[in-house]
Structure 1
Amino acid sequence: MEPSQQLVQVATLQGHDEPRVWHVAWSPSGHTLASCAADRAIRLWAEDGDRAWACVAILTDGHQRTVRRVSWAPCGSLLASCSFDGTAMIWRCEDGVFDCLASLEGHDNEVKAVAWSPSGSFVATCGRDKSVWVWEAEDEAYEVAAVLHSHGADVKDIVWHPTDDVLASASYDDSLKIITQDGDDWRCAATLLGHASTVWGLAFSADGAHIVSCSDDRSVVLWAGGPADAAPAAAAAPAAPAPAPYSYAQVASLPEVHSRPIYAIDWEKGGARMIATGGGDDAVCAIEATLPEPGSAKPASLRLVARVAGAHRGDVNSVAVAPAERGDGLLASAGDDGVIRLWRRA
């Protein structure tokens, strides 16, 4: 089926000194966009009085190599970044000025992703060393709460459940993992298998009841689930493990969304259904998820609604849908061409 909608470009943001912008992330208010790139810099972008976008801050005195990912804390005044130099950093903004508050060290090599928990109490990182680290934030100090080695290869992405301190991770080992807190410990509660190759990215729905993932196999997979009854059945043997407190199962898939690997995915928050993807075919796509009402027998489905071929001159590394607070569904994308583009659905 041909796409029924369009993505219209509304702005182009340029300024990073080297090609390959790796990631973009909206602040919780949706009024500021953070970007990071191979030039080791983090840039902050915002609209001026004429609604034109401009770079309002540049952070260059932190990482020693490519900055791979940025993530805003729920409070909007803290920004986390991670780098191929093996570190993650916490930046604090006061009166529009960003200062490095802490450096998180422990990974053996490249850190691929960083993410804040919805409570703001935890920061998670993952990397090429196949590990996921959970850091606890307390009084501006960040201590290691857990190091997990659940994956058998590079961990490409991590995201938090939108309301609970539950993590989902994606890996070169073709799997997703659900990570939950068990008392003072963290553990892998479930493994999701459904992709035929590397899982590059994933995102939760606004209510946490669904996950979407994208892969080297060029497909987008939709998973449904959430909290499960952790109490073991009465007939279970004493040694039988309790069911996973969080469990997800595949309910829909959309094959060949892109003609090459899909590197980035994001899900519009605030109850909307748009899922954005970016891939190695230089394209940006919009997908609509149809989710059944509780108790309904109608199956979930995914439908491609818009595609921009040649959205970037090179791989699309990141897509980010603006928070509902903006009210305009703005979509940001970043690519190997060193450019950030803003799109609006029409």
Structure 2
Amino acid sequence: MSIPTLAEYQDAIQNPSFCFADSELKNGQPQLNNLGLPLPITGGFASVYQITNGSNKWAIRCFLREYADQQSRYEKIHKFLRSISSPYLIDFNYQPQGIRVQGKWLPILKMQWLEGQSLNTYIKSILNNQAALQRLADDWTTLVKSLKSIGIAHGDLQHGNILVCNGKLKLIDYDGMFVPTLAGQGSHETGHPSYQHPQRSGKDFNAEIDNFAALAIHTAILAVKCESNLWWQFNNDDNMLFSREDFANPSQSQVFAMLCRLPDREIVRRVMALQQACTDPVSKVPDIDITKFKSNTPDWVIDQMLISVQENAKIRANRFAFSFKMLWKRPGMGYVKKLKQVPVYQTKTRTVTKTRTVTRPRMVTKTRMVQKTRTVKKRKAHIPFFLLDDLFGHYYVDEIETYYVSEEYKESELRQETEQYQDTETYTEQVGSRSVEERISQYISGHEKSVKSVAFSDDGSLLISGSYDNSGLIWKCETGKIKANLSFHSQKITGSATVGKYCFATSSWDKTIQIWSNSGQKIRTLRIDINSRFYAIASNADGTQIAGGLGQKQVRLWDVSSGNEIHCFKGHTRKVLSVAFSPDANFIVSGSSDLSIRVWNIRQKECKFVLYGHTDEVNIVAVSPDGKLIASGGNDGTVFIWNAKTGNQLMKINAKASEVYALVFSPDSQYVISGGSDHIIRCWDVNSGREIGHLDGHSDSIRGLAISTDGTKLASCGDDQLVILWTLK
């Protein structure tokens, strides 16, 4: 029976009522892509489609490969799963004639559709949550033990087949599942190579086949809990931490080497168990508890390794601290110090006469009118006519009359009075003047286009920057003021370097290298005899030699004192973007857009070795101050650490930027600092690949980095036209 192609399945599923035999699927609708076609999720054995009918959703697996006992296998798996109960498994229905494609009925699997995150996606979401990662590791252990207690194995444990639904683990895709009724039949698949034992074959088919993958997943979860940066360094979206190559050559694996240096004894034991299992037969792989694991490495050796890791961490912590704050950025606001005279005052005391108002009581005499009465006799006539008064006579009556008299009385009242008294007071008196330093803010200009490079003077008091605006600027580190403007170049400046104790050098697209004094005076011009741009420049430690990287695939070396060219190194097949000297000045390292790094022997005038690892242009190279390491960064967003003596790759760091443009080692050679397209300065431990800190101050790609010899100052520049000086907190 011929198996339909993916396109043929898509065509059929556009009409569910016609293609499906299942009544629920007939009335359903497939999930569509942007083109209006059924959206498949494709794997090695099948493509999966989501069919929705009302509130119900199903996953329909349509097979892309066929094997002889397919139907009997699925029937046995289905029958066994129906006889057990597990919270980690889902039921499915194998339909031998489930879908009609081009007139032929073919088998499908009908399963419940689960809404959740794949294991990789879920781990990314909790990467900085150690408690959640520990719960996940515990839940994973419980799941694995649950399957073992039932006597089954999934057969293909990997991130895509493990879903996290509302915090609960679920397993999907049972193509390679082992159940007791399949014992002795073998398997048609051996699982994802980034999770399986390198020697596993179809004959390895029993209840123990999940041991290796379960241990690898559990170890990876615990490792990223201990050091989250491991995820960004080794995860490639199709694995967790390990790859097929790591399992095939565990002794040469970078990830195994780094995990053995983690400061956790239990994790190191698991790493060693997994590493040893890679070379042991499949049947001897320990279970997830590693209780029966007998390590070839004695416990005392593991203890000594942990002590060494902890001691080295303490030494590195004491030698360099990535703890910087921004001192200034240019262009931007700065401060000018000026002296001014201010008066000096002295406090004195004196006695003075003062007046105050007081309130006191006193007696006063007042006068008031008082009403009184008295009795008086009045004469009355018998007849009320005055003409008859004498005839008839009079009589007298008593009457009471009212009258008023004045009298004096005394009363107490409050009155305010003023009085004088003596008091002591303090006062200030100017007794002179003094000079004080005043900081006046002002805008300080800078470059007007992208700034490509920066370099410190030998004593760290000055900083040079080179820009695409054709100018170089020498800055005073203390104040951020411009000391000199180097405007001799006629085209973009692409590189800056310190030359000895008292000079700087700049390279440009104008085909010249200019050597300047610290005060900005031009001392010498180095020219080339071909039509080529300079892309990079470097000077050896004592300033006697200068190397330049050219667009014409060359590295050229000059003697500074005479200005004569010493040698032209050829070998790159595209432009040279970066150059660096070894501390002993015996070697030059160059990085090119041909994806390679070359190490040149200056005395023998030949290429010592070529380093390959980057998948895109190599933008920057750097050599550690102790001469033992080479760092490289490129457009692939990675930083590689190489052994400078052997050329062996020691580490690959995911720099969290699409492109890396700038690198510089710390003075103790224990850290490398990177800058790139993400606008962030990041510091990496060269022994573990762990990010130990970052600085955020730029708004566009970072193009150049420099650190002072004492490690107290860090300079950065970029496409935002800024030069920023950072200093230790």
TM (normalized to structure 1)? 0.71
Report the AA paired with residue 77 of structure 1: S
2:582 to 191, 205, 214: 205
**Could you tell me whether the CA contact under 8 Å between 2:572 and 2:592 is conserved in 1?**
yes
Give the secondary-structure state (helix, strand or coil) at the position aligned to 2:481: strand
Q: Report what 2:648 is aligned to.
A: 303
Q: In proportion to residue count, which structure has more helix?
A: 2
**Could you tell me whether the CA contact under 8 Å between 1:136 and 1:142 is conserved in 2?**
yes
1:280 and 1:79, CA in 2 relative to 1: closer, same or farther beyond 3 A? Answer: same
**Could you tell me whether the CA contact under 8 Å between 1:73 and 1:79 is conserved in 2?**
yes
Aligned CA RMSD, in angstroms, stands at: 2.3
Give the secondary-structure state (helix, strand or coil) at the position aligned to 2:589: strand
Alignment of 1:246-325 (within 5 A): 248-255=605-612, 257-269=613-625, 271-290=626-645, 301-309=646-654, 311-324=655-668
How far apart, CA to CA, are the structure 2 residues paired with 1:111 and 1:141? 15
**Could you tell me whether the CA contact under 8 Å between 2:459 and 2:501 is conserved in 1?**
no
Question: Which ranges in structure 2 are unaligned for 5 or more consecutive residues?
Answer: 1-251, 262-319, 332-444, 689-729
Q: 1:329 Cα shift?
A: 1.5
Q: Does 1:58 align with 2:309?
A: no
Q: 1:59 Cα shift?
A: 2.1
1:344 and 1:58, CA in 2 relative to 1: closer, same or farther beyond 3 A? Answer: same
2:474 to 90, 105, 108: 90
Q: 1:305 Cα shift?
A: 0.6
1:6 and 1:333, CA in 2 relative to 1: closer, same or farther beyond 3 A? Answer: farther
Q: Report what 1:32 is aligned to.
A: none
Give the secondary-structure state (helix, strand or coil) at the position aligned to 1:129: coil
Q: 1:2 Cα shift?
A: 4.4
Q: Report what 1:155 is aligned to.
A: 534
1:108 to 490, 494, 513: 490
Q: Report what 1:27 is aligned to.
A: none
Q: 1:118 Cα shift?
A: 2.1
Q: Report what 1:128 is aligned to.
A: 509
1:329 to 638, 663, 670: 670
Give the secondary-structure state (helix, strand or coil) at the position aligned to 1:342: strand
Question: Which ranges in structure 1 are unaligned for 5 or more consecutive residues?
Answer: 9-45, 227-246, 291-300
How far apart, CA to CA, are the structure 1 residues paired with 2:618 and 2:516? 29
1:3 and 1:215, CA in 2 relative to 1: closer, same or farther beyond 3 A? Answer: farther
Q: 1:219 Cα shift?
A: 1.1
Q: Report what 1:70 is aligned to.
A: 454
How far apart, CA to CA, are the structure 1 residues paired with 2:680 and 2:470? 25
How far apart, CA to CA, are the structure 2 residues paired with 1:314 and 1:151? 34
Instruction: Give structure 1 regions of 4+ aligned residues with deviation exceeding 4 angstroms.
Output: 4-8
1:112 and 1:80, CA in 2 relative to 1: closer, same or farther beyond 3 A? Answer: same
Q: 1:150 Cα shift?
A: 4.1
Alignment of 1:231-246 (within 5 A): none
Q: Report what 1:173 is aligned to.
A: 552
**Could you tell me whether the CA contact under 8 Å between 2:543 and 2:560 is conserved in 1?**
no
**Could you tell me whether the CA contact under 8 Å between 1:131 and 1:151 is conserved in 2?**
no
**Could you tell me whether the CA contact under 8 Å between 1:283 and 1:308 is conserved in 2?**
yes
**Could you tell me whether the CA contact under 8 Å between 2:512 and 2:534 is conserved in 1?**
yes
Q: 1:76 Cα shift?
A: 0.5
Q: In proportion to residue count, which structure has more strand?
A: 1
How far apart, CA to CA, are the structure 2 residues paired with 1:88 and 1:141? 9
How far apart, CA to CA, are the structure 2 residues paired with 1:333 and 1:206? 20
How far apart, CA to CA, are the structure 2 residues paired with 1:130 and 1:263? 20
Q: Report what 1:22 is aligned to.
A: none
Q: Report what 1:119 is aligned to.
A: 501
How far apart, CA to CA, are the structure 2 residues paired with 1:190 and 1:105? 29
Q: 1:161 Cα shift?
A: 1.2
**Could you tell me whether the CA contact under 8 Å between 1:163 and 1:207 is conserved in 2?**
no
How far apart, CA to CA, are the structure 2 residues paired with 1:54 and 1:136? 29
**Could you tell me whether the CA contact under 8 Å between 1:148 and 1:187 is conserved in 2?**
no
Show CA shifts across 1:247-276 (max 9, x none): 632111122x2011110000001x341111
How far apart, CA to CA, are the structure 2 residues paired with 1:337 and 1:286? 21
Q: 1:136 Cα shift?
A: 3.4
TM (normalized to structure 2)? 0.35
Show CA shifts across 1:285-344 (max 9, x none): 111122xxxxxxxxxx301110023x13321001111123xxx62211000121111111
Q: 1:152 Cα shift?
A: 2.8
Q: 1:223 Cα shift?
A: 1.1
Give the secondary-structure state (helix, strand or coil) at the position aligned to 1:98: coil
How far apart, CA to CA, are the structure 2 residues paired with 1:212 and 1:123? 20
Give the secondary-structure state (helix, strand or coil) at the position aligned to 1:287: strand
Give the share of equivalent positions with the same residue, in percent.
22
Q: Report what 2:254 is aligned to.
A: 3
How far apart, CA to CA, are the structure 2 residues paired with 1:283 and 1:118? 32
1:88 and 1:197, CA in 2 relative to 1: closer, same or farther beyond 3 A? Answer: same
1:58 and 1:220, CA in 2 relative to 1: closer, same or farther beyond 3 A? Answer: same
Q: Does 1:194 align with 2:571?
A: yes
1:6 and 1:282, CA in 2 relative to 1: closer, same or farther beyond 3 A? Answer: farther
1:215 to 592, 607, 613: 592
Show CA shifts across 1:113-143 (max 9, x none): 11111232x2211112222222234xx3412
Report the AA paired with residue 566 of structure 2: A
Report the AA paired with residue 672 of structure 2: L
Show CA shifts across 1:130-189 (max 9, x none): 22222234xx34124224134532211110011242100001110000011354xx1222
- Point out the structure with max Rg over C-alpha: 2
How far apart, CA to CA, are the structure 2 residues paired with 1:275 and 1:64? 33
